[in-house]
Amino acid sequence: QIPKTQKAAVVVGHDLPIQVRNDYPVKQPEELAPGECLVKLHCTGVCHTDLHARKGDWPLPCKIPLVGGHEGVGDIVAIGAHTVDSPVKIGERVGIKWLVDSCLQCEQCRKGLEQCCSKAKLSGYTVDGTFSEYVVSYVNHVTPIPESLNSQEAASFLCAGVTVYRALKYSNTKPGDWIVLPGAGGGLGHLAVQYAAHAFGLRVVAVDTGAEKKELVLKLGAEKWIDFRETKDLVKDIQAATGGEGSHAALVAAASSAAYEQAIEYLRPGGSLMVVGLPADTQLNASIFWTVVKAINIIGSYVGNRQDAREALEIAALGKVKCHLAIQPLSALSDVYEGMEEGKIVGRVVLNM
Ligand code: 8ID
Ligand code: ZN
């Protein structure tokens, strides 16, 4: 029996407090369009992107009222009538990622760059997301969850995990190369440390701040640590950490433009800057001269496609990468955002439904 209303955390305006309500409508099974499915959520991770949506600080408009959230795991409880060839079935446990639907027909979709489909639907941004008990999703884009992971462990791989996994995959690095990870102690960053060290065979210089994040990232496989608040010369420290040469790559996973500032300087020639963290409406300042003369690659990396999501989860299921998480109730969302704003969250917060 599917209830008519549910508990949900709703953004009613970018300057207004989040409302945790019990009367948010649930789309009923008979109302689902072909290709849609209804998922009863177990839990959902809180990504910094949800905070950007809550604040409305990106150049891309989002729907209002909005239920945020895009790291959800739950069970399919209904599939729209007349759905043809569904790759998933009722009762199956699946994940909801940022990209919840795309046309699968356009050039970007055909090339596996479905994140860039002009008809893409974004969870917790252009359509309601996972900060609720039920969510409408799409059979072609939900991600099956490996059995060996519980839902809380799996949740943050649907965004943080897949995003950093794909960015590493396209970073032009080889085993033994150095990578710098600004934002290493956050949600994306702490998973990036582990994928880099344990799946890609890279040597990691973690950059973030505070004793707790330092201890975590060193435990997770980082070889060197630099506190961005304490360092007097970040470029020099990175050069020293990497044997004087600078790093082969940097994956910026901080929601801060400052974290990008010196990357061109500390990368070694031929190095790649993976642009992942999305500070509000800012420019990437790079010296054109040194970008050319050092033959630097600057590469934007946007979540991942359906295959990236499966690969990222498979590596997690092998136990090579684990989410460091704190479990909280949905009602804690406003406090989680406050902590995130202050940079106090180590790893991820996962909300239980
Ligand atoms: O597809 C994408 N590219 C994608 C996918 C998902 C998330 C991009 N994002 C974006 C988010 O929108 C956000 O802008 O990545 C950014 C990081 O998301 P997150 O990991 O969920 O944020 P967090 O948990 O708050 O972690 C950020 C960390 O950055 C550190 C903070 O201390 C925190 O640990 N940090 C900051 I803020 N400034 C820093 C600096 N200058 C810094 N670390 C190093 N140097
Ligand atoms: Zn996210």
Ligand nearest the Cα atom of residue 227: 1
pLDDT tens digits along 289-306: 999 999 999 999 999 999
Task: Check whether residue 245 and residue 320 sit in a common domain.
Answer: no
According to DSSP, the β-strands at 224-227 and 121-122 are unpaired
Q: Are residues 130 and 165 in the same domain?
A: no
Which CATH number is 313's domain given?
3.90.180.10
Q: Report the CATH number that the domain containing residue 171 is assigned in CATH.
A: 3.40.50.720
The arithmetic mean of pLDDT across residues 32-41, rounded, is 98
Q: Tell me: the pLDDT tens digits for 82-118?
A: 999 999 999 999 999 999 999 999 999 999 999 999 9
State residue 322's pLDDT score.
Answer: 98
Q: Is 211 left (phi over 0), alpha (psi -120 to 50) or beta?
A: alpha
Q: CA 29, 33, 37: angle at the middle one, nearest 5?
A: 55
Any idea which of 34-38, 177-181, 277-281, 343-347 has the lowest mean pLDDT?
Answer: 277-281
CA 207 / ligand 1 centre spacing (Å)? 11
Same domain, 274 and 316: no
Q: What total of structural domains would you count in the chain?
A: 2
How far, in Å, is the centroid of ligand 1 from the Cα of 24?
Answer: 30
What pLDDT does 15 receive? 93
117 and 208 share one domain: no
Tell me which ligand sits closest to the C-alpha of residue 305: 1
Cα-to-centroid distance, 44 and ligand 2 (Å) = 11
Is 253 in the same domain as 212?
yes
* In a shared domain, residues 276 and 229: yes
pLDDT, tens digit, 9 for 90 and up, residues 268-278:
999 999 999 99
Give the whole-number percent of the chain exceeding pLDDT 70. 100
Predicted confidence (pLDDT) at residue 281 exceeds the cutoff of 90: no
Q: Residue with the nearest Cα to atom 3 of ligand 1? A: 276
Which residues have CB under 8 Å from 42's CB, separation 6+? 73, 74, 75, 151, 152, 352, 353
Looking at the structure, tell me whether residues 101 and 85 fall in a common domain: yes
Last residue of a domain, one of 265, 280, 300: 300
Q: Report the alpha-carbon distance of residue 287 to residue 184 in Å, rounded.
A: 25
- Total count of residues recorded for the chain: 353
Instruction: Look at residue 218 in the predicted model and tell me its pLDDT.
Output: 98
Check pLDDT > 90 for residue 184. Answer: yes
Q: pTM surpassing 0.95? A: yes
Q: What is the pLDDT of residues 206-254, one digit of tens each?
A: 999 999 999 999 999 999 999 999 999 999 999 999 999 999 999 999 9
Is the interface score ipTM higher than 0.90? yes
Ligand 1 close to Cβ of residue 50 (< 6 A): no
**Residue 206: half-sphere exposure toward Cβ, Cα within 13 Å:** 31
Residue 131 confidence (pLDDT): 98
Cβ of 277 less than 6 Å from ligand 1: yes
Q: Which helix (H) or strand (E) holds 154?
A: helix 151-155
The verdict on 12 and 150 lying in the same domain is yes
- Asked if 18 and 149 sit in the same domain, the reply is yes
Q: Name the residue at shortest CA distance from atom 9 of ligand 1.
A: 277
Instruction: Tell how far the Cα of 279 is from the centroid of ligand 1, in angstroms.
Output: 8
Query: With contact defined as beta carbons under 8 Å apart, do 173 and 249 qualify?
Result: yes
Could you tell me if 193 and 103 lie in one domain?
no
Mark whether 182 and 274 lie in a shared domain.
yes
Kindly state whether residues 19 and 147 are assigned to the same domain. Answer: yes
- Residue 123 carries which DSSP code? B
- What is the domain range of residue 201? 161-300
**Cβ neighbours, 10 Å, residue 216:** 21
Q: What is the average pLDDT value for the chain, to the nearest integer? A: 97
